[in-house]
Structures are given as C-alpha cells and as structure tokens.
Amino acid sequence: MAGFIKRLGNSTLVTGISDTIRNISNLGMKYDDKVVSMSKAVGTTEAQFSAEGPLPQDLLYSLAMSDIGPKKYIAFFDKDYKSRREFLRKFAMNGEIEWILDTIADETIVYDEKNFFCRPDTTGIVNHIKEELKDEILNKIENNFKWIYNAFHFNDDISAWQIFKQFLIDGFLSFEIIYNEKGDKILGFKELDPTSLRPAVINTPNGFKRVWMQYEEIPNLKRQLLDSQIIYISYSKGSIVSRASYTERLVRSFNLLRLMENTRLIWNLMNSTYRMKMVVPIGTKSVQKAKESLNELLAIYKEDVYLDTDSGELLINGKPSMQFYKNYLFPSKNGEQPDIETIASDGPDLNSTESLQYFWDKLKQDSKIPFSRWDKSSGAAWAIGADGLDREEIRFAKFINRLRSVFQEIIVKPLWIQMSLDYPELADDEIFKSNLGIKFNKDNVFEEMKNIEIAQKRLEFMTAMKDYTMNDGSTPYFDAEFLVKYLQLSKDELDENAAIKKKNLITNTKDADTAATAGSW
C-alpha cells in the first residue's frame, strides 16, 4: 500500500519510483533531443499550437518532439471526445454493430487451449544476443511474458477479448504500470481514463524525460507520471485525417439503414389498420362551441403511437397492443349524425427491399468484413485452398494485422521494460528493442493457405532451377544457396535456420565422439 498511501500525500508527483524506472523514461531521448536541436523547419503540431501565440520553451520543445516521435492521437486534446465516447458505447449495443465488433474481435484475439492469444516472438533476437546468454535471455523473455500476461489477468477469462472490443469502440486504451517498492519488478496494471492524460516532456538535471500529466485541471487529482509508468494506445494517429475509433466509421451507414427500416415499419404499421374520416355536424353552434365539440371528440378517438427504435417496442396509448379494427357508436338526434368513411391508403409502395439492401451493403462495406461472411443462406461448402481466393479476405487479413500492430503495445512495452530492468545492458540496445515482439494466434485459414501455396510454388520453382545443369548434363548451373533467396525468407529466418543447423552439428559431433569413446572400451 506504500504507493497508494504516498500518492494521497502528494497530488503533484508520484513518489517512490526508483532511479532505474526514471532512467527508462529517458531512453531514446538523447537521439530525439539531437534531432530536435538540429531541425530547422517547423513541424505540423508545433505550427498548429504556435499559431495561437507565444508558447513556453518547455511546451514548445514538447510539441517539436511530438513531430519526430510516434504520432499518437491524444484524447485529451479532443474536447468533444467524451460525449462521442458515450454515444459510441451506447451505439455499440445495437445488434448489428455488436455482431460486427464480435467478428473483428474473434478474428484478432484467438485463444489456444491454454487461454493464450499470443506468444513472444524472439525470431530476430536469437542471433543478436551473445551465445553464452542466449538460452538465459530467451527463457527470461518467456517467463516475463507469462508474468505480464497473468498480471493483466488475461489467463483468467476472456478479458483480453473484451479489452480489445473496448478498443474498437473507444479508440483509446491506457494503463498504469505498477512496480514493486524497489522498482525492479512489474506487479500489475491499472486501467486509466485516456481523456485524463496528456503527454509532455520535462527538463531535469539528468536530461529530458517523457512524462504524462493526469487531471491537470483538478488540483487534488493532478499527477505527473513517467512514460515508463504508462501504456497508451490509440486507433488513429495524430496529424492524420481519420476517425477516432473503428466503431465511428459505422455510424453513418447504420443510421441510414435504421432510417430506411423505420420508414418501412411505420408504413406497414399505418397501412395495417383502417383510417377513418369523421364529419361531425355542429349545427348552429358558434365557432368556439364547435371547436370544443371537435376537441372532445378528438380526445376520445385520438391514438398516441410510439415506436422505441432501441428496443423495437411499439406502444399505442401507452400499451404494447395494437387494435386492427374499431367500431364507432354515435347517438342520433333530430336526424343529425356524424358521417364516417374509410380513407384509401394511397401512397408509395414500400414493400420493395432494394433500397434497404443498398444501405445494408453500405454497412457491410464500412465494416471491412468480407461480404461472404455475411451470407448465411448460400449454403456453399467451405474448402481449404487459396485457388480463387477472394481479395476481400486478403484485405481483411491485412486490416486485422494493422489492429494487432497497435494492440500489441499493451504487452510489448511492459515486456521490454521488465527485460531492461532484469538486464540493464539491454535498455540501450535499440536492435533488441526493435526485435522484441509478440506473435498472435491466427484463425484466418484463408491467409494461412495463401501463404502455404505461395511457398509451395516458390519451392517448386527453386527445385526446377536446381535441376538445371551445365552442358555436361551433371554439374548444377545454379548454386543451392543462391536459389534459396527465391523462397523470400527474411534475414532473421535465415539466421535462425543457420543457428539451428550449427547447434545440431555440434550436438551430432558430440554424440559421435561419445559413441566413439564408448566403442573404444
């Protein structure tokens, strides 16, 4: 409880953070600081805020830094975002929108039998670290990954799936990284309101540091947190025209679709009953008396029809019932009686669903989900193979990969921080940092089959080229190592294969020596 107790006594700065964690917030700043100091031009963010008037030097530096670093869209600067977020959360409860969000989340977060949706990717790290530390560091990465995964409680239930779905709706996610008292171990994470956080850069005796200001406008809640204490991801990027969240792109097409549905519903409702015209005799009554009589009659036969577009409930005079015919009884006096007749239901024919289908297709198009996944009535057999693969599936797989590349930071950042705490020499190793990642479980068999078939075609081509010989008919014309490049494997994959071959060669040599020694006895 030390951190909680201490922050109650200090509303400006979170205390109890070790120097190690403070130094992590300084990583990369030396390079960025040099870039800013050597820059001659005015960046887009810097110009946008500077146009409003002179700015303090530290704020000006922070704006210039944002133009050379990661351009995350910050919810704090969007004053309308809070109200839009509430609307989007309510909007996401519509059945059609919920199905779309569930489909995207199911495609992105795929659990295995141990409830993991991803694993650490060490492909590029294998040949970067020293041989004597390789096994130790790889095991440490695996253990730290499992610890962070459990610290998020991802192993307990489907919270990762739910958090990702929230990201699709809100467009922002932020968490506090909580450390132990020594600052050498990540204990857990706390979800924060992204609208309360603003990035900044402060100048300290030890150099510039990235920080996050929280609740600046509320004195008793104001906090200053180091960048190493915050995870912040956004769906869109700063200085780029885009929507704040994925769900926001569905609003227009869905509202138009709902409008078209309601017009047909109301049309059928209005034409499901007879409409009556009443001619009420008023005799020699004055205008005022005649109006009173008509108002009395109107109050008796008036109906209040209400359609709740959220629940689909229809209320008539406050009751969930509908009368399909009515009997009217009127007294007759001196041969005078009201005249009642049925009014013809003339009007446009809204039984056609062509225009409704048009807006339904617009919603499907905006969702980015392939049209074939919406069709539940075709009954077509599903076959494994990339022959004639729908390009929509390829685009959809790329879209899911873009979402994953943003979402992965909630695990990659604390994993890199924990590795830097365990091995301080890795903190300044930019190559190690850039190669540290996670690999998502995939359930898109279309993409998988496409990659397999492409690899098979390349292998067939390489084999055919390998059989091509010189004029003597026996000497290969192409070297095998030269032909391997047609497989288009990455350097990391080739290095990993070379390392495994080398390891197997050493193991086989040792086994042969052991067998020879045993045989000599």
Closest CA to 13 of 308, 214, 161, 305: 214
- The whole-number pLDDT of residue 51 equals 67
- The whole-number pLDDT of residue 379 equals 46
- The whole-number pLDDT of residue 520 equals 53
- The whole-number pLDDT of residue 26 equals 61
Q: Which helix or strand (DSSP H or E) is residue 77 part of?
A: none
Residues in the chain: 521
- What letter would DSSP give residue 127? T
- The whole-number pLDDT of residue 334 equals 52
CB-CB contact of 225 with 214 (8 Å): yes
- The whole-number pLDDT of residue 163 equals 96
List, for the chain, all residue ranges whose pLDDT scores fall below the cut of 70. Answer: 1-20, 22-37, 45-46, 48-71, 206-207, 238-241, 269-280, 301, 309-312, 318-352, 376-390, 444-448, 450, 492, 511-521
Report d(CA 463, CA 453) in Å as an integer.
15
Report CA Rg, the chain: 34
- The whole-number pLDDT of residue 460 equals 81
Q: Pairing relation of β-strands 230-234 and 172-179?
A: antiparallel
Q: Which residues of 325-356 are buried (b: 16+ CB within 10 A; e: fewer)?
A: eeeeeeeeeeeeeeeeeeeeeeeeebeeeeee
- The whole-number pLDDT of residue 1 equals 41
Q: Which two tokens stand for residue 248?
A: 């926001």
Q: Which two tokens stand for residue 384?
A: 């494994």
- Per residue in 64-110, pLDDT tens? 666 666 667 888 888 889 999 999 999 999 999 999 999 999 999 99
Side-chain half-sphere of 105: how many Cα atoms within 13 Å? 19
Q: Which two tokens stand for residue 482?
A: 């030269």
What's the one-letter identity of residue 193? D
Report d(CA 131, CA 127) in Å as an integer.
8
- The whole-number pLDDT of residue 404 equals 94
- The whole-number pLDDT of residue 43 equals 72
